[in-house]
Amino acid sequence: MAEAFARAHGGDVIAPQSAGLTPAGRIQALTEKVMLEKNIDLKNISSKGLDEIMGSIDLIINMSGEDLPFKTRAPVERWDVRDPIGQSKQVYTEVRDEIERRVLKLIASMRGRKPAASAHKSAPRVDSRGRSPRK
């Protein structure tokens, strides 16, 4: 869910990859159903293991409820999110909404770190004698 929300809402600031400590190999039907309610199709997202995504990672969001089984230089943010597997559609919906809120907050934080467009403006033009151009 988190990867799908990050792709849908923050593709300009984030390139998400999700993986699990013990991936199921498939996405649960209720996960697909509750995400479709948000108009997000999961057909291009798969359940992956950590070994499939390791590489240059800037941030790890750990929602497993367990410590990571490896050391990393990347900062780790722990999100205590209920695991909906085996629960009712209501629980899946609640978890989906919580994950979306957290992802949106993360994206807003990342956008806040990007330099403002005005920071990229060049210095005022001057002529070769160091004078400002005439208006």
Domains belonging to the chain, first-starting first, are 2-113 (3.40.50.2300)
- Reported as a single tens digit per residue, the pLDDT across 13-68 is 998 988 877 777 788 999 999 999 999 999 888 777 777 776 778 888 999 888 88
Query: CA-to-CA distance for 47 and 89, rounded, in angstroms?
Result: 20
> What percent of the residues of the chain are helix, what percent strand, and what percent coil, each to the nearest 5?
35, 5, 60
Tell whether the model's pLDDT for residue 10 goes beyond 60: yes
Place of tokens 């400002």: 132
Whole-number Å distance between alpha carbons of 100 and 4: 9
What pLDDT was estimated at residue 127? 40
DSSP string of 24-68, one letter each residue: -SS--HHHHHHHHTTT---TT----BGGGT-SS-S-EEE-SSS--
DSSP, collapsed to helix, strand or coil, labels residue 122 as: coil
Distance CA 15, CA 67 (A): 23
pLDDT in tens, 95-132: 999 999 999 999 999 998 855 443 444 333 434 444 44
